Amino acid sequence: MDKLAIIGGRPLYGTLPISGAKNSALKVMAAALLSDEPLTLHNVPRLADVDMLLRLLEQHGASANFDGSTLTLHAKTIASTEAPYDLVRKMRASFNVLGPLLAREGKAKVSLPGGCAIGARPVDLHLKALTAMGAVIDLDEGYVLAEAPEGLHGAHVTFPFVSVGATEHTMLAAVLAKGETVIENAAREPEIVDLADCLNAMGAKVSGAGTSKVTVEGVDRLHAAEHSVLPDRIETGAYVMAVAATGGELTLTGARADLLGAAWASLEEAGVELEEIETGIRVRRNGARCKAVDIITQPFPGFPTDLQAQFMALMTTADGVSTIKETIFENRFMHAPELGRMGAKISVDGQTATVRGVERLKGAPVMATDLRASMSLVIAGLAAEGQTMVNRVYHLDRGFERLEEKLQACGALIERVKE
Residue 196, SS3 per DSSP? helix
- 9 φ/ψ angles, rounded to the nearest 5 degrees: 90, 10
Would you say 6 is a known binding-site residue? no
DSSP code string of 49-84: HHHHHHHHHHHTT-EEEEETTEEEEE-SS-S--EE-
Contacts of 203 (CB under 8 A, 6+ apart): 219, 221, 222, 223, 225
361 and 380 Cβ atoms separated by less than 8 Å: yes
User: Is the distance from CB of 271 to CB of 288 less than 8 angstroms?
Assistant: yes
23: annotated binding-site residue?
yes
Contacts of 255 (CB under 8 A, 6+ apart): 18, 231, 236, 280, 281
Find out whether 139 and 67 touch, Cβ atoms under 8 Å: no
CA 402 to chain CA centroid, nearest Å = 16
Q: What is the pLDDT at residue 118?
A: 37
In the prediction, which pLDDT does 114 show? 61
C-alpha distances in angstroms, 222 versus 76, 106, 198? 12, 16, 11
Side-chain half-sphere of 336: how many Cα atoms within 13 Å? 20
> Which residues, 6 or more positions from 410, have their beta carbon under 8 angstroms from its beta carbon?
12, 13, 14, 15, 16, 248, 250
pLDDT (tens, 9 = 90+) of the chain, 419 residues, equals: 789 999 999 999 999 999 999 999 999 999 999 999 999 999 999 999 999 999 999 999 999 999 999 999 999 999 999 999 888 877 878 899 999 999 999 999 999 886 444 344 578 999 999 999 999 999 998 899 999 989 999 999 999 999 999 999 999 999 999 999 999 999 999 999 999 999 999 999 999 999 999 999 999 999 999 999 999 999 999 999 999 999 999 999 999 999 999 999 999 999 999 999 999 999 999 878 999 999 999 999 999 999 999 999 999 999 999 999 999 987 789 999 999 999 999 999 999 999 999 999 999 999 988 888 899 999 999 999 999 999 988 889 999 999 999 999 999 999 999 87
Instruction: Write out the residue limits of the CATH 3.65.10.10 domain(s) in the chain.
Output: 3-19+231-417, 22-228
125 labeled binding residue: yes
Q: What angle do CA 180, 184, 187 make, to 5 degrees?
A: 115
On whether 73 is known to bind a ligand per the annotation, the reply is no
Q: Report whether 370 contacts 395 (CB < 8 A).
A: yes
User: Quick one: angle between helices 233-246 and 262-269, nearest 10?
Assistant: 0
- C-alpha to C-alpha distance for 317 and 287, rounded to whole angstroms: 12
Residue 22 annotated as binding site: yes
Residues annotated as catalytic are 116
Q: Which residues pair with 354 in a beta bridge?
A: 323, 347
285 annotated ligand binder: no
pTM score: 0.95
Task: Check residue 296 and give its pLDDT.
Answer: 98
Residue 51 annotated as binding site = no
In order of 9, 13, 131, 315, 363, the CA distances from 385 in angstroms are 6, 19, 55, 16, 6
On whether 121 is known to bind a ligand per the annotation, the reply is: yes
**Contact in structure between 297 and 328 (CB atoms under 8 Å):** yes
Residue 117 confidence (pLDDT): 45
Query: Any residues with CB less than 8 A from the CB of 303 and at least 6 apart, and which?
Result: 261, 262, 263, 266, 295, 296, 297, 311
Give the Å distances, CA to CA, from 6 to 191, 273, 382, 414, 418. Answer: 32, 25, 7, 4, 14
Which residues have CB under 8 Å from 349's CB, separation 6+?
none
In this predicted structure, what is the pLDDT of residue 115?
45
- Assign a CATH topology to domain 22-228: UDP-n-acetylglucosamine1-carboxyvinyl-transferase; Chain (3.65.10)
**Rounded to 5 degrees, what angle do the CA atoms 159, 165, 170 make?**
65
The CATH superfamily of 3-19+231-417 is Enolpyruvate transferase domain (3.65.10.10)
**Residue 47: its pLDDT value, please?**
95
What are the angstrom distances between the C-alpha of 199 and each of 38, 144, 188, 218, 224? 13, 25, 16, 11, 10
Helical pair 371-383 and 233-246, crossing angle rounded to 10 deg:
20
370 three-state secondary structure: coil
> In whole angstroms, what is the distance from residue 384 CA to residue 322 CA?
19
Distance of CA 66 to the CA centre of its chain: 21
What is the pLDDT, as a whole number, of residue 122? 72
